[in-house]
Chains A and B, each alone.
Chain A
């Protein structure tokens, strides 16, 4: 028995919608098996992991808080991946963005004026974009693999933040903890009560970004350019589109969004800098981007699904004493399932029994 792929004449629209659903379904089944292997009730585990986070207002609020940065970062990454630019360093861009955005509230804590708020966001976006431009420029100028350089810079950014909060930026009043001073009120994201759920501005920003990216990708020449360069670089050059400029553009854009997302997490949740400011949002966003089929609306849904897995991980840990690391494993599995199911869009899969062509015979 073996699998054989039969190419479809055209992409299957049905499968484009169905493949992420199948992938999520397979993940649910896998989760059940994992829970059962740990000697727990799989159905209770599945309920707690996937549905419990949706059952309370508090859960929905946490969901929005987790999904917001994931969606913002994944949107930027989707433009990179669509145009064949492999930015996997969003975590570093998030960190550098947050550092750049914190310059004002950390170094000028007395400057408490409304103008600080937009300045902080702007500087965060600029910092993330600038940091993302490094691997992009190296790719454009020297042909260096952006995959490896963007990832290496993640480690550098994390270490740089570590040095800052333990060294020059350490709060004099922080009892020697590696933290900066608390941000003043102008550099803080406040939450507002929306039907019992407390949300801040960043969630609104993410929704607006989803809509803007949808329009950009589907309706404008720029979006067309991104899709053409990604699918067929040679045809892109024939259309007069510059792949190099596109590399710089998509990296800068995704870096800016990652920086912005990181800053807003800091402004809303911890309101100061510390050695660790993100639970790996920059890496998880890669899963979100693919689960959302690199489509802005899909990414919105995918961001929510992945946020559920974060909360679900906490829920099973507190209720069933299952390690929350199960969530990370399931996220990795989910990405595999998504990539595997995407095969269905271009191919029909056939099971072939017995002796077949030499592909098996000669191995």
Chain B
């Protein structure tokens, strides 16, 4: 009896399938066997990343069920939130069919600056011993300005001298690293790690937003959500956003259409820099200390997340939602692999393989149109 109800239910559900889906099912039925196979294999390939992630999650959850506990999920979401701003910044550079490998170091520099300006007044090894407790907003604006300045330099060289962003940011990333090292030498600091951060700052970033089953969700998750929403509007609803996609899609056509290409490129990199500044500001408190290696290789995760999320290096395509998913998927994999205690060194190999796979699937769309 129960069984019968169950089947009836399913039947009803099938009946209530929207007509568009029904239409595509009908379409599918009308195809020849050959077409069916290629249709299915295409569908599988186009969604390969999601399928792999799904299988990975299931497998990890079976081996280690606590992977799907509240604590673990909150952890994944928090990590995602922390890495989102930098990815959203790099995403813009990739839409321009460029890249930005100075992002990690820019995060490092802004994290170090933040830490040095927000050490608690009674901390012994304070970098600026006589500095009073600064208002947080002043420091935020300072690091955003620092990031934007780095971006302005990157953008200027890309736009003015037609240099590939890879070359430009390869150079600036060295300059920034030097700046970090010099900065850490200031006063009596002598290159040490900066810690002993002010409580109000730590609380502003890592304090509890709300609790789920007693597990604290940190405040920076909220900031990340707000930034993502703002970026969605910037990309989709502003003249700047439309111009960015136009330049990424066809720079010549954009120029002829009256887009100020120079301004657009510089602004994209400045916006990216500002987001690195925000990332640095969050990272400093999230980790609790900042040193010369802070931010190292952040750009490679961010670029990978963008590509996995469908921001194509061909330029002119990409969605904010894709980047969010890309960052989330990467974090799921990293955390998941840690859960089943896979060798740390293996992580790099898996990461590399995932990026290659994602890029190959992405390029399929542009290849072989015969």
- Mutual binders A and B: no
Seen from chain B, the residues whose Cβ lies within 8 Å of a Cβ on chain A are none
